[in-house]
Amino acid sequence: MEEVVLKAKHRSVIGKQVRALRRAGILPAVLYGRKFESIPVTLDMREANRVLPRVTSSQLVTIDLDGEKHRTLVREKQRHPVLGSLIHVDFNVVSMTEKLHANISIHLFGESSAVKDLNAILVAGLEEIEVECLPQYLIDRIEVDLSALENIGASIHVRDIKLSEHIEILTDPDEIIVVATAPQAEEVEPELEVAAEPEVLERGKKEEEEF
């Protein structure tokens, strides 16, 4: 997994005054965690917007706070409602010696012969899987190969996922990740039969109106 390091500084400005920081290209953030006193910090706005959108919820981010390094997970990214740029980030400081719960995103890849040859439709179920492990064993995503779906009705479940022995999967093993379903037949609307008698009555009505 790619190591992500961001430099941070202590922040004394809080509340509505942080707007001035954003205008100056500074991103407000906070470090918090179990047995860790919360610390308001600042990041470089441009650097954070370049790096953090690519970071997953299970990817460790090292915050270099004035030379003191903290291993963290990104817990919340607040964005500007119009521009979409980051306006605040919450970092959860983790202990490298204590197991944690995390959600690892699922990445589907490959080609399914059920889709290619049988015109099946893939229906995705889960987008992430919950795990428990020490922080150093976290992975940024789980790769799921679609080539295993060879027939209509074939599916991939959580129990089919193989991870490191250091990672315990907490999600129900019977949960479906993706399934190949049969293509839906196009519905053909039946042609409506038009009775002759109403047409005559309608014509007669029109003729009465014309005269």
For 89-108, the pLDDT digits (tens) are 999 999 999 999 999 999 99
Question: Do residues 81 and 104 share a domain?
Answer: no
Question: Do residues 110 and 131 share a domain?
Answer: yes
Q: What is the pLDDT of residue 17?
A: 81
> Looking at the domain assignment, is residue 169 inside a domain?
yes
Question: Do residues 19 and 75 share a domain?
Answer: yes
The total number of structural domains in the chain stands at 2
> Looking at the domain assignment, is residue 207 inside a domain?
no
The secondary structure of residue 182, as a DSSP letter, is P
Q: Compute how many other C-beta atoms are within 10 angstroms of the C-beta atom of residue 91.
A: 25
Model confidence, pTM: 0.76
Domain that holds residue 77: 4-93
> Looking at the domain assignment, is residue 203 inside a domain?
no
The number of CA neighbours under 13 Å toward the Cβ of 198 is 3
Question: Do residues 88 and 49 share a domain?
Answer: yes
Question: Do residues 70 and 51 share a domain?
Answer: yes
Q: Which residues pair with 7 in a beta bridge?
A: 64
pLDDT higher than threshold 90 for residue 209:
no
Query: Mind listing the pLDDT tens digit for each residue in 113-141?
Result: 999 999 999 999 999 999 999 999 999 99
Question: Do residues 8 and 60 share a domain?
Answer: yes
Question: Do residues 124 and 56 share a domain?
Answer: no
Highest-confidence range of 17-26, 67-76, 183-192, by mean pLDDT? 67-76
Domain end point (choices 78, 93, 108)? 93
CATH at residue 29: 2.40.240.10
Q: What is the pLDDT of residue 3?
A: 81
Percent of the chain whose pLDDT exceeds 70: 86
